[in-house]
Amino acid sequence: MKKFVKICLISLSLCITFALCFGATYLTLNYFSYSHIPLNADALASNNLQIEIFDFENKKIKQPTQLNAPHCDLSQLQAHTIGAFISIEDKTFYNHHGINTKRIVRAAINNLKSKSFKEGASTISQQLIKNTHLSNEKTIKRKLKEIALTKKLEKQYSKDEILQCYLNVIYFGNNCYGLEEAANYYFNKPAKELDLNESCTLAGIIKAPSKFCPVQNYDNCLKRRNLILSEMEKDGKISVEQKISTQNKPISLCLTPRENATNTYAQASIDEAAQILNIPTKQLATNGYKIHTYCKMDKQNQLSQILESQAVDGVDNSALVIDNASHGIVAYDGNSIFKLANIKRQPASCIKPVLVYGPALNENIISPSTQILDEPLTIGNYSPSNVNKKFAGYISVTDAVKNSVNIPAIKVLSYVGLESGKQYAQKMGLSFAETDDSYAIALGGMTYGTTLKTLTSAYTTFANGGIFAPATFVQYITDKNDQLVYIHKPAEQMVLRQDSAYLMTHILQEAAKTGTAKKLADLTNVEVASKTGTTGDKKGNTDAYNISYTPEETIGVWFGNLDNTPSKIAGGNQPTTVAKEYLKSQTYQKTEFEVPSCITTAKIDSLEKETNHTLKLANKHTPERYTETAVFSRFNMPSEFSPNFSQIPQINANCEVKNGQIVLNLVPQKHICYQIYKNDIPYQSIQDKKEKLTLRINFPEKQCQIKIVANYANNTAKDLTGEKVFNLSQTKQNAKPKDKWYI
């Protein structure tokens, strides 16, 4: 046994040794093969880069972008500014030769524990190479290229030159590339004038610009700034007193609009292209890439003008238009000092068709006419309410959607299932956090929210008959030799059946005619389906949406404030006006939504719907006034006929004689006509009544017959006539003896 164990241990040791030797040989050979890659001096130093961007007709888009940022001079920066970046990013920057071996080993161990490449242990030199020469993929090959190029960098450039290049290319969020631009944007001052507080704030952003942005995530940014102050104090760069006094200060921003527009179509295209090729934005220019987009300048100009004309003081806005067939974004614009394209906000009621009603239609749980009880509701600790704090009783799904009533949406999501609804929405491009696990998401209550681009793109699913593909700015990308390096091929997938998508469209058309988007009702050039959404409280609203689509295009419009300042905006107002003005300005070839063959109409019994809140087919005797034409999928039609109007009507009445009068008590039904006869002579007709009636009839005769004949309204079928007869007689009472007054 001992001998066997010994053999196993020796074999295992040999295997490990062989694996290590093989791995070391593989890494070494690859490293030397990558050592021949040259440094790109332009990528490191150029501050006059341009990217050619073309519209759908292959004409250059002449819009400003944020690519060419002003540069800072390291020699003019204050010591605490340089110290903040050194302390948090690379403490031994001036001592190593580009690679920090200890940090790499420590990071490798942590990555093995977490089974990921979460920690990179990159020095400032490595980060500079990654941001100017390489993609963002986390692979061993890329890391080897990074190390090889970093060694070259350290040999050819001084430490100060490397640090200056680094500070001029690093990304600070909100489309700020380089320290100089970030200082101007966040604090309205040049980088050389940054104080300790401001320097640490900016140094903290670069680790994760969205997570540590002082605008959207102030608390995260504050914690990160305080960490940097502590690290600087440990490194002897500031005193304990400086650390404490600065940690007690708030971060006072002075956001400043930049000369170059942040929210242009061109800038959005650059950002998307960098993401597609998985390289830093600057490399798009240094490598000579050309971006060809779906932009149609006539539509772009029209959208920009309309957005500007509908601007609200102190309120940001943005909008985009998607071509349904190609999934390409043909127009985009925004007005804000913030970069809006990738900002996530609560989608409000605009999420309901995507998360709730679309899935419910597809699961055959509802139809447009299905009745839902709008009533007070509590699920666990969650007690939602409607916007007007009132409850409407039973209403149809169509009315619930078009009037954006909240309680029915939550009930329908409970029928679909929370996870099932989220799976449908995810297939339409939305993403959810683990904490999005309550029915509040039915009303748009997401942890992080979603972008306008993602939300608008989801609605193309309904316009495209249930087929979804993400919307995109970029059509294709070529390199400096005009060789194709990327082409957009929509990854289409069927999320909803064609009938389900059309029924959602049918419902949203009603929203555009008589619902919250009724500003669109007088559009005559094209059919439109629409949904609005508003987020806010008693103080005012922070977000307002309109998502509308025609057979050819989908437009998404947002008004709001990223700092959540309340204002007088609402989804049915400014955003809907923008959508209306844009759609009115366009000419479309397809002006009507195509009705699939799997859609049908049927007459249902409106009395059954009103009384029992169920959908049943009207039978052959149902009067026209009690029928209602409803739209259905052939896969989800009512199978039962209503029992109303198919049986002899019952008469709920009684009759008696009191004080020489006939007293007739009748409980009528609204859909039944009653003819009352006295001795076969018509006495009175009663119809369209449903409250208890009491009739008093003179009775001078000794005997009398009261007959009630009941027929369904507007129905003359003799076999469906009800009758009830009362035979009455006068009963003489013995006269009482008169009192003798004189006794």
SS (H, E, C) 250-280: CCCCCCCCCCCCCCCHHHHHHHHHHHHHCCC
Tell me which of 565 and 530 has the higher pLDDT: 530
Which range has the worst mean pLDDT, 108-112, 234-238, 562-566?
A: 108-112
Residue with tokens 């959005």: 268
* Spatial distance between the Cα atoms of 326 and 357, rounded to a whole number of angstroms: 25
pLDDT, residue 644, reads: 86
Instruction: Tell me how far apart the alpha carbons of residues 516 and 510 are, in angstroms, rounded to a whole number.
Output: 9
Q: Within a 10 A sphere around the Cβ of 595, how many other Cβ atoms?
A: 14
Query: What predicted TM-score, i.e. pTM, was given to this entire model?
Result: 0.77
pLDDT given at position 348: 96
* In the chain, % of residues over pLDDT 90: 62
How many separate domains does the chain show? 5
Regarding whether 667 and 614 lie in a shared domain, the answer is no
Virtual torsion, Cα 664, 666, 671, 673, nearest 10 deg: -10
Residues 100 and 199 in one domain: yes
| Residue 298 or 13, more confident | 298
Contacts of 548 by beta carbon, 8 Å cutoff, 6+ apart:
512, 517, 520, 528, 529, 530, 531, 554, 555, 576, 579, 583
Q: Which of 296-300, 302-306, 686-690 has the lowest mean pLDDT?
A: 686-690
Please provide the size of the chain in residues: 743
Model pLDDT, residue 575: 98
pLDDT at 545: 98
Whether 307 is in a domain gets the answer no
DSSP secondary structure letters along 678-723: ETTEEEEEE-S--S-EEEEEE--SSEEEEEEEEEETT---GGGEEE
Give yes or no: residues 197 and 100 share one domain: yes
Share of the chain above pLDDT 70, in %: 87
Lowest mean pLDDT among 7-21, 52-66, 160-174, 484-498: 7-21
Sorted by sequence, the CB contacts under 8 Å of residue 697 that are 6+ apart come out as: 661, 662, 664, 678, 683, 706
Q: In the predicted model, what is the mean pLDDT of residues 529-543?
A: 93
126 and 8, same domain (yes or no): no
Q: From the DSSP assignment, how many helices (H) and strands (E) are in the chain?
A: 23, 22
Residue 620 pLDDT exceeds 80:
yes
CA distance linking residue 106 with residue 103, whole number of Å? 5
**Confidence band of 507 (pLDDT split at 50, 70, 90):** very high
For the chain, the 3-state helix, strand and coil shares in percent, each to the nearest 5, are 40, 20, 40
For tokens 């409106």, the residue is 606
Kindly state whether residues 240 and 169 are assigned to the same domain: yes
Residues 89 and 218 in one domain: yes
pLDDT grade for 66, boundaries at 50, 70 and 90: low
| Lowest mean pLDDT across 90-94, 404-408, 425-429, 501-505 | 90-94
Whether residue 121 sits in one domain with residue 215: yes
Least Cα distance to 198 among 209, 188, 208, 210 occurs for: 188
Do 25 and 122 fall into the same domain? no
Cβ-contact 714, 624 below 8 angstroms: yes
- CA separation for the pair 66, 337 (Å, rounded): 12
- At residue 226, the 3 state secondary structure works out as helix
Q: Is residue 441's pLDDT more than 80?
A: yes
Helix 140-156 crosses helix 124-133 at what angle (to 10 degrees)? Answer: 110
**Whether 567 contacts 369, CB under 8 Å:** no
Element (H, E) at 426: helix 418-427
Is 734 part of any domain? no
Asked if pLDDT for residue 68 goes beyond 80, the answer is no
| Final residue of a structural domain among 416, 433, 450 | 450
Structural domain boundaries enclosing 132: 69-247
CATH number at residue 438: 3.40.710.10
Task: State which of 199, 231, 247 marks the end of a domain.
Answer: 247
Q: What angle do CA 197, 202, 207 make, to 5 degrees?
A: 130
- What integer best gives the mean pLDDT of the chain? 88
The answer, yes or no, to whether residue 112 has pLDDT greater than 50, is yes
Return the SS3 of 283. helix
pLDDT of residue 605: 94
| 620 lies in the same domain as 669 | no
User: What local confidence, expressed as pLDDT, does residue 345 receive?
Assistant: 95
Read off the pLDDT of residues 668-701 as tens digits, 9 standing for 90 and up. 988 888 999 999 999 999 988 888 999 999 898 8
Residues 214 and 126 in one domain: yes
Asked if pLDDT for residue 329 goes beyond 90, the answer is yes
- Among residues 185, 217, 247, the one where a domain terminates is 247
Regarding whether 215 and 182 lie in a shared domain, the answer is: yes
The answer to whether 626 and 605 have CB atoms below 8 angstroms apart is yes
Sequence letter at residue 128: L
- Report if residue 46 sits inside a domain: no
Band (26; pLDDT cuts 50, 70, 90) = very low
Looking at residue 624, what is its pLDDT? 85
pLDDT at site 735: 47
Residue 104 counted as domain residue: yes
